[in-house]
Every structure is written in structure tokens, then in C-alpha cells.
Structure 1
Amino acid sequence: MHPTIEHITFLGESAVRVTTEKLEGVVVPAWGSNLISLTWRPTGQPLLRTPATAEAYHARTTLHGMPILFPPSRIAGGTFRFRGREYRFPMPDPARPYHIHGVLMREPWRLSEAAVDGEEAYVETTIVAEETPAVYAALPHRFTVRQRFRFTTDAVELRFVLESRDEEAMPWGLGYHTTFLLPLPGGDLSRCTLQLRADKTWALDEQLLPSGELVDNPYRDAMAAGLPLDRVELDDVFLASPDAPFEAILTDAGAGLRIRYEGDRRYFTQWVLYNGKGKPDRGFFCPEPLTWVPNAPNVNAPAELTGLQALEPGASAEVVSKLTISEV
């Protein structure tokens, strides 16, 4: 079948539903350009954790769909200095002495394209920094972000394009808080595994901020072979092995599905792996690809390890990641 696009209402918000032969996805521009739902059509299995109500979504925004983290993860004290300039990010929770998950996730984006082209369908959203007060307050630079979702028969490609229109260099980092249902409906956590290549993990303090020290990954060999996910509790940061593809492979043998999550090796360097670590709302697994380590501008380590990057005046960066679903 050829892909189709429908403009729908999802929990009170304007959304775009894309249907291909094997996938159905829903993008909500007003919710941070979130791919809020993804379903494997041959069996009707939902893949992403999707809210039942708008109230549920707003209560745990990061644990639904694929929130865009820009910059990703935590910033100690909500502040850092870069090339002689101070940046301050909001810290709305007094219990958390850090900023978390960036300034794009809760902002409304503009739908700029939704179209079918042969065997592919595209949804593109846009946000302009200086037209978005919360973004411009934290990152006072003139820049535009475009998020393009390309749907094919069994895959979704995400293309994040960052374009500078400023006269000064801007620090930047990107991540996705991708929240998969795990086990999948009809699956079994005891038959779920993760394959990922990471030789090192970052030592974290009590706020889960990297100390700057890298230590051996205790799960290295098990991850390379297929780490059983019913045996681990994770909220950890791993440095991806530089000599291997940047990818995480989730397999639920009970549900009969495999998810390959690939990222652009030019930019992505880190994985945060999170499964609730003993909290009562388990039933999900978050492999979070990041271009920089949490708190990167404040970490005492070389930029080639932390992933800290600058977008130079007038320059652009294009970061691609991809989900491919297959039967086991």
C-alpha cells in the first residue's frame, strides 16, 4: 500500500497520523513535535508509551513518545559558561538543583509540511528561537530548528536540522527520550534483550551528574551479546564505543519483534539507559541517544569525550537517527 497522511485531533491537540504498510505513527506539533505514538500494524502492537489522557501526558512528559531533548539531560545549577558567555536554564522544581531535558520539549512547534512522496511520507515541524520566549531566554541566539520525520514501510527516520542566523557561536546538544513499551503487548520481559556497544560508563554523583571519570562498563560483554532486561535496573550514562556503529537493538522474543535504533555516528556519542530503576511505573525502557553527556559544558573532560559542540555563525548541523522494526 502507499502511505497515507491524515490531519487528526489527538487528545485535544492537532496532530498528523501517518500510515504505511507496516507502521502507524502520530506526530503532535504542539507537544514539542513529539512522535507520540508508533504502532506495528501487522499485529496492532503499540511500540511507544502513549498517554491515555492529556493530563497523563503533561504529568510525565518525558515518559511518552519521543520527546526532543535540546540540550539533553541535566545541567548543574541550570547554568554554564561557553566562550566567555553565561547561559541560564530554568529550574522549576526546587527539589532538583539542576535543569533537565532542555527547552524544546514543551514548546509548540509549527507544522511546515505533511506529504506523501511515492512510497514515503514526510512530516516536518519548525521552531524559531527568537519567536519562542522560553527558548530564546535560555539560548539567546537567532536559530531555527526543523524536525523531519520520514516514514517508510517498516522504519521512521528522524532528521534534526539546526540552522544558525546569529553572529556568535552557540553551544548545542541533542537527545531523544525515547520511551518504548517493554515488554511489548504479548511479550515477556524475561525474553527481552538489549544489544549495544559501549566499553565505558560515566561515574555519576548523587544527582546523576558525571564526575568526569570514565570507568569500565560492567555490562559490556553482556550488552554486546544481548543483555537480558529483566535482570537490570538502569539510570546510567554510557560512552558509545567509537569503533562500532551507534545503535541499540531491542528484541522482545515473546512479542516476536525487534527494534533497531540507529544514530548518526558524526554526532551521537552517548547513551542514557533508563528503565525506572525500581520505581512503580515500570513496563518501559528508554534508550536515549545523546550528542553530549549530561552536564557536558560543566564536565571536566575533553570535548571529544563529552560531545560538547558549537554551531558557528551562519552554519548548520543535520543529525539523523532511525528506528527500524522487524519480526524476529
Structure 2
Amino acid sequence: MITTESKAYEGLYQGEKAVWLSYGRYEAAVLPEIGGNLIAFRDKEKGYRFLHEPAEEEMESFKEKPIIHGIPVLFPPNRYEDGKFPWNGACYQLPVNEPSTGNHLHGFLHNIPWTVEQYAADEYASRITLVQQVREGHPVYRYLPHEFTIKLSYVLSDLGLQQHIVVRNDGTDTMPCLLAFHTSINAPFAPGSTAADYKFTMTTGKRWELNDRMLPTGQFQPLKPEEELMKSTGISPFFEPMDNHYTSEPQNGRNRMELTDTRLQVTLVYDVGTAFKHWMIWNNNATEGFFCPEPQINLVNAPSVSLPAEQIGLLSLAPGEIWEETGRLYFIERKN
């Protein structure tokens, strides 16, 4: 019986320790020591590279600021005014690490080592699970003094790349659960194509108004005609500079971004799951090459926004409770 080649093994990625997953035509690489970042997802047969990977000469700057490559984990995500994080009558002080706005940006999990719980391969898939167990003494506990566990799993199979994230409250008091992925997608992802060959759609809803510190005012902005096209027939991911924040509005039961190579009639689907109630989208000042459709549980600066918690995704976990979501990256070849 012929079986699909499936492997999971330790190796190197641009000189850094990596765990590689391989299944049939697909391969992926995870960097446990750099934020548990899934840095590569590729189709070896077609030469597709779906994620924005750092070039060899970019590795030092990537390690210093591992945000715009691969799939960084943001916890808590995006910006918090003056680094303040009010929660259940207390106020946590996060470091102000974005001097231009005076805010805290992007949390604490994208640039620290993760523990590899297991990796394995069989005839059905190759897989890896990484874990953060936050207790007193953990670098995250200093700023978010709660005991909790985060598990991040990737499974590579003939269905593409599955991602599963779990947050469990291991402590004795209610904790915030605010998370996003700063997913960085190549456009173009196919050899021989250009950015002009690409258009994308996204299940965005309303656009949040942001002030000059990139914090939400609590109001919505009217959508431009091009933003309406994002929700329907599609538009270039570089139609204008974007650093925008939207509600999510699932279509046909799914919450996703689709990026189509119109030359090849190939569509990359990034289905993130409906638990993510918000999207960020950032395109590096409309610089062709990659853009970041970022699924986000919560509104930017949510703990300081006076709107209903359910509306802004200000999620809490009671002791012992679990939050989880599953997403997938895969592609569809359209028939002409």
C-alpha cells in the first residue's frame, strides 16, 4: 500500500532551532524559541510560499521584533492606552513599548520561548503542540498576574494546515482572555505571479474609528467603496495604506480571508473560526509583497472602552474555564 510521506523532526530554519512538519506536498516550520512562531507554510510541488518568511539577512531584525513574519501570537493583542489594563477593580501596568503613541503594543508571547510538548507524524498527518504555562516567576505573570496555560497546536495533512489554540484558567480568580494572530500572508505567494495578480476578500463588518493614538473612539466610520469590495467581489490588498480595525461578520457560517491569484485561479483560504469577533488589517503602508489579516478576539484597548463586553470581545475566564478556537489555511484550485 502506498502511503503519503509524513514527517515531524527537529532541524534548523535560517540557523534557528525549528521543528519541521512535512506531509505529502506540504511543509511547515515552527520556531519554538521565537514565540512559537509558525514561520513557514509551503506547497513544495507548486513552489507556493503562503507566509511572509524572513530572508537570511533579515533574521537579526526578525528576532529583535518578530511581528511581521509567519504567525506571531499576540496576548493581549494590539494597543493599550498608556499601558494601563484595568481588570476587575485592579489596574495592571504594561510596559509602554510604542513611544509614538504612548501605548503598550502586542503583549508578551510573540518574542519568548515556548515549550514543545510533543511533535509526531503518522500516515494521516504531522503535528506539533507548544505550551506556555504561566505561573509566578513566568515573564508574563509580572504584568498579568494570573495562572493559566496556553496550548498551540498545528496539524499538517491533506486538508492543509490546521491551527488550534486553547487557553485554560488554572488560577483562583477570573482572568482576561484577549488574543490575536498577527498572520503575515504573501501576495504574491506563487512564483511567476505579481502583486497585481492578487485580490482578497475578508469577512469584515463595521470599521472602528481610531484616534491619532490608534485607539478606538467607540464609534464606527463609514466604509469606503473599496472596503465594501473587501466583503464581496474582492480588491487588491494594496489598494491603499491600511492599519484598520473592523468587526467580523461571518458569511455562510465562516469567518475567513480569501486571497486569489487571478493568473493561476488559485485561492488561499484563511478560515479563523467565528470566536474571533474582530479583524485588524495592516499592509505595511501599501507596500506590495505581504499583508497581515489579523483575527482578534477583542477590540483594541477593550478593557478601557465603555461598551458591552460581548460587543467588544472583552472575554473573561473563571477558574477552570477553557476558551478555544480552531482555524485552517488551505488553498482551492479553481477550474477554468
Query: TM-score scaled by structure 1?
Result: 0.93
Residue in structure 1 matched with residue 203 of structure 2 by the alignment: 197
Superposition pairs for residues 228-307 of structure 1, below 5 Å? 228-241=236-249, 244=252, 245-254=254-263, 256-265=265-274, 267-278=275-286, 282-307=288-313
1:33 equivalenced with 2:42 (yes/no): no
Structure 2 SS opposite 1:115: strand
Cα distance 1:131–1:13, how it changes in 2: closer, same or farther (>3 A)? farther
Structure 2 SS opposite 1:62: coil
Measure how far apart 1:15 and its partner are. 1.1
Structure 1: distance between partners of 2:186 and 2:207: 25
Measure how far apart 1:197 and its partner are. 2.7
Measure how far apart 1:225 and its partner are. 1.4
Superposition pairs for residues 90-109 of structure 1, below 5 Å? 90-109=95-114
| Conserved? CA contact 2:238–2:288, under 8 Å | no
Residue in structure 2 matched with residue 64 of structure 1 by the alignment: 69
Cα distance 1:15–1:247, how it changes in 2: closer, same or farther (>3 A)? same
Residue in structure 2 matched with residue 158 of structure 1 by the alignment: 163
**Moved >4 Å (runs of 4+):** none
State the percentage of identical aligned residues. Answer: 29
Structure 2: distance between partners of 1:195 and 1:88: 37
From 12, 16, 27, the counterpart of 2:15: 12
Encode CA deviations 1:182-231: one digit per residue, 9 max, x unaligned: 12232222221111232310001112111111233324531111123342
* Bigger shift: residues 89-98 or 298-307: 89-98
Structure 2 SS opposite 1:202: strand
Structure 2: distance between partners of 1:243 and 1:231: 23
| Conserved? CA contact 2:65–2:111, under 8 Å | no
Encode CA deviations 1:144-182: one digit per residue, 9 max, x unaligned: 111011111241111111111111100121111111111
Measure how far apart 1:256 and its partner are. 4.5
Residue in structure 1 matched with residue 174 of structure 2 by the alignment: 169
Structure 2: distance between partners of 1:242 and 1:258: 18
Computed over aligned residues only, the root mean square deviation of the Cα atoms, in angstroms, reads: 1.8
1:222 equivalenced with 2:225 (yes/no): no
Which blocks of at least 5 consecutive residues in structure 2 are unaligned? Answer: none
From 289, 301, 320, the counterpart of 1:314: 320
1:326 equivalenced with 2:329 (yes/no): no
Structure 2 SS opposite 1:160: strand
| Conserved? CA contact 1:199–1:217, under 8 Å | no
Q: How many residues in Structure 1 have an aligned counterpart in Structure 2?
A: 325
Residue in structure 2 matched with residue 24 of structure 1 by the alignment: 27
The one-letter code of the counterpart of 2:11 is: I
The one-letter code of the counterpart of 2:174 is: A
Measure how far apart 1:88 and its partner are. 1.9
Structure 2: distance between partners of 1:257 and 1:37: 19
Structure 2 SS opposite 1:314: coil
Measure how far apart 1:242 and its partner are. 5.3
Measure how far apart 1:240 and its partner are. 1.1
* Bigger shift: residues 154-163 or 214-223: 214-223
Query: TM-score scaled by structure 2?
Result: 0.91
| Conserved? CA contact 1:26–1:36, under 8 Å | yes
Measure how far apart 1:107 and its partner are. 1.0
Residue in structure 1 matched with residue 145 of structure 2 by the alignment: 140
Structure 1: distance between partners of 2:99 and 2:144: 22
Which blocks of at least 5 consecutive residues in structure 1 are unaligned? Answer: none
